[in-house]
Structure 1
Amino acid sequence: MSDELVPDPRQMRASDADREKVARVLQQAHGEGRLDLHELDERLAAVYASKTYGDLVPLTADLGVPAPAVLPVPVQHHAPASRIGGTPGSAVSFAFWSGVERRGEWVVPPTHAATAIMGGVVLDLTQARFTQHETTINAYALMGGVEIIVPEDVTVRVDGVGFMGAFEDSTHKGAPTIPGGPVVRVTGFAMMGGVEVKRPKRKKLKTKRHEELED
């Protein structure tokens, strides 16, 4: 059970603290004359737009600062295997003029139907486990809304259809996911309503603009 795949650290998501560490190194490099003000602004913009450790490493690679000294070793919180297994929970979430939410540590069955009729359904998979490697969620919204929140270590495939409504996928399809992790397929139909598939909210990064240093 210990043969778990370890993700490439460069594909792991960087934190706000990681970005701040890199920003401080760039500031110091500017103060030492290694970067001019234009280069500093360009690299800081890239720092605050970065998402992974791999995005951050090149920004200091030519400054004589070893990447490990700048970026901490990412901690693996969820091994792919730890997401799979357990007794499945309910296979249905139904809201009619009401609201239904499933959050926290719950076990998603191989197939789950989420239906919202003039109501709302929220399926938060952030801390969920899955009975199988691949899971299908059938989402139906009629003058209502279904919101599905899928964490970064779960691969998402969305192929639902909207008619006079919206079936939206904002999970950034090209983003890397942990090899061997669960796969969630979201399909279904939205009519005069909406189905939205998204990642958990990330803390807004404070945009720090630097004061110009006197030459």
Structure 2
Amino acid sequence: MANSPEMRASDVDRDRVAAILREHAAQGRITMEEFNERLENVYASKTYGELAKVTVDLPDVDLRHRPAKVASSTPAPQGGLHPGMRAAWGAWAAASGINWVIWLIVSLTSGDLIYPWPLWVMGPWGVILLMSTIFGNGQPKRG
């Protein structure tokens, strides 16, 4: 059964059109401002007809057979970690540091060294990050 313009669109249909818009933005057919405007229209659309109006002036894009990406001239990530893993380690270090500073302040103001509870924050999180770093494939997950 063909989809008539009056039929209600699903979230999957809106996500498919959003992916098409992302591809057109990546190829430079639309600006980021146009992309954001069209994306708002996509998620406000209720029917197939409204979705079609968002991409009527753009050529068809087959997302299954996209051209191969051109190798970028950017250098390889430092330490062999992708940016997401570096960010995770940075968040771990920042949270651990803040917790140790709080522990130190409480210990100094109480006049006694209290139980080192920050170990319970940084330990399990650090172990999970370490396992992900060692046994991960080095690539960010694709959704």
TM-score (norm 1): 0.27
Q: Which has the higher contact order (CA 8 A, sep 6+)?
A: 2
Larger Rg: 2
More strand by percentage: 1
TM-score (norm 2): 0.40
More helix by percentage: 2
